[in-house]
Structure 1
Amino acid sequence: MEKLKIGYDVLKEINPRIILSSTSGYGSSGPFAHRAGYDMIVGAEGGLLHVTGERGGGPIRPGLSLVDLGTGLYMQGAIMGALYARERTGVGQKLEGSLFETQVSLLANVGLSWLNTGVEAQRWGTQHPTVVPYDAFEAKDGYFVGGATNDKQFVKLARILGKPELAEDPRFSTNTKRVQHRDEISKIVNELFKKKTIEEWNEAFESSGMPYGGVNSMERVFKHPQSKARNMVVEMPHEAATKGTMSVIGPAIKWSGTPTSIRSKPPLHGEHSDEVLAELGIDEAQRDELRSQGTIK
């Protein structure tokens, strides 16, 4: 971080409108500032692995690098805010984020429960701590996520599952009672879900107003009609692809007035350093100096 600090001071003297963003494992201060940052390590120390895993089981790493991705998304918002601030003040600034701070901030409700009530978080797998049944249930050809978030929905769920009498059972008549009898109702519902495929359950739940959906493979995700309707797959030219194009995932946010588009391939590390710095008025000699310091690539 010291090298980065020197680099930013130099850049700021050259152009006070400079905005520089940096991320690290633990930030530039504090006893862990020297540590390298790794998604799963920070996920462990920041509480993510404490709440992720099967009920009563050990910690499980999420299937995606959520801390890495979250830090990038936080920094994206910070850069937009800094650009807006620069338009008002004419002055840039340095933005600093870290994997650790991202993960602590993402603890959200489970973190606040501990801070304000002393309630320790625990692992629930795909179950919900206070809503039952609401889980990933085994279907004929995979897993199907569904449930009832209130008592009215439980009556619907029982009917869709072909067991309307479940709603009349005194053990399951209210959500409070279903939480108390979590294992019993979960076992019954799971056995009922095994009778049909994911597609059959999708049809059964259609237009019910209930929460539901299959656990999709990558193939199913990108064949999903909503993926196509929302342009979540974009084809773009790429010289390294045998077919001449590569598929990339489309932007998540759609803008009404200035539609987003993917116009270029992902850049290599430092590929556009000279181009960007030149636009900011930093000449070749200054760029060479920054490069010799290791500030830029």
Structure 2
Amino acid sequence: MADIDALQRAYRATDGWLHLTITTDEEWRRLRDTLGEAALADHMWDHHERHPADGEAYLPQFQLQVEDDPRFATAELRREHAAELSTVITEALRNRTQREWADLFTARGVPYEVRKPAQPSTSSAPGGGA
């Protein structure tokens, strides 16, 4: 596996690239919570007519994959499982625009940079160009 850092690389939004610059556990928690809340909001918007059975709680896929996953519990484990974490983050970010994510990340204190389409990142962006 290539030496990648899932929390310091570019990811594709629907219309552009965002480069995460997460370096601390607190920043990781902010990112995790922001992506989880966005997934929940998307689910509620897309499925507002559906209600889970009495007492059944819905957790969006992102939260199911990340929040309690022991592979992502510490910075060392997140580095060890960077490929898996990159896949999860890629899936989470691909459903909103660059501006939508920028607004959410700014509001929640998640460090990132907006990338121009011709500059996804050095070698970390999956799938190539914009």
TM-score range, shorter chain: 0.5 to 0.7
Confirm whether residue 149 of structure 1 aligns to residue 53 of structure 2: no
Give the equivalent residue in structure 1 for 2:8: 134
Residue 34 of structure 2 is aligned with which of 151, 160, 164? 160
Asked if the contact 1:147–1:154 (Cα under 8 Å) also holds between the matched residues in 2, the reply is no
Give the equivalent residue in structure 2 for 1:184: 84
Aligned partner of residue 12 in structure 2, secondary structure: strand
- Report deviation, 1:158: 1.1
Identity of aligned residues (%): 28
Aligned partner of residue 83 in structure 2, secondary structure: helix
Number of paired residues? 92
Aligned partner of residue 67 in structure 2, secondary structure: helix
Please give the alpha-carbon distance, in whole angstroms, between the structure 2 residues aligned to 1:196 and 1:148: 20
Give the equivalent residue in structure 2 for 1:212: 112
Bigger CA radius of gyration = 1
- Report deviation, 1:154: 1.4
Q: Which runs of 5+ in 2 are unaligned?
A: 37-61, 119-130
Confirm whether residue 202 of structure 1 aligns to residue 102 of structure 2: yes
Change (3 A) 1:158 1:152: same
Change (3 A) 1:167 1:155: farther
Asked if the contact 2:17–2:114 (Cα under 8 Å) also holds between the matched residues in 1, the reply is yes
Change (3 A) 1:168 1:153: farther
Give the equivalent residue in structure 1 for 2:123: none
- Report deviation, 1:156: 1.2
TM-score, normalised with respect to structure 1: 0.28
Change (3 A) 1:141 1:199: same
- Report deviation, 1:155: 1.5
Please give the alpha-carbon distance, in whole angstroms, between the structure 2 residues aligned to 1:170 and 1:177: 8
Cα RMSD of the aligned pairs, angstroms, is: 2.3
CA deviation map 1:135-186 (0-9, x unaligned): 1001101211115312222111111112345232111011100111111111
Give the equivalent residue in structure 2 for 1:170: 70
Which has the larger displacement, 170-179 or 144-153?
144-153
Give the equivalent residue in structure 1 for 2:128: none
CA deviation map 1:197-230 (0-9, x unaligned): 1001011111322211221259xxxxxxxxxxxx
TM-score, normalised with respect to structure 2: 0.61
Q: Which runs of 5+ in 1 are unaligned?
A: 1-54, 57-123, 219-297
Aligned partner of residue 144 in structure 1, secondary structure: strand
Change (3 A) 1:143 1:217: closer
5 Å-filtered alignment, 1:1-297, equals 127-128=4-5, 132-162=6-36, 163-165=62-64, 166-216=66-116
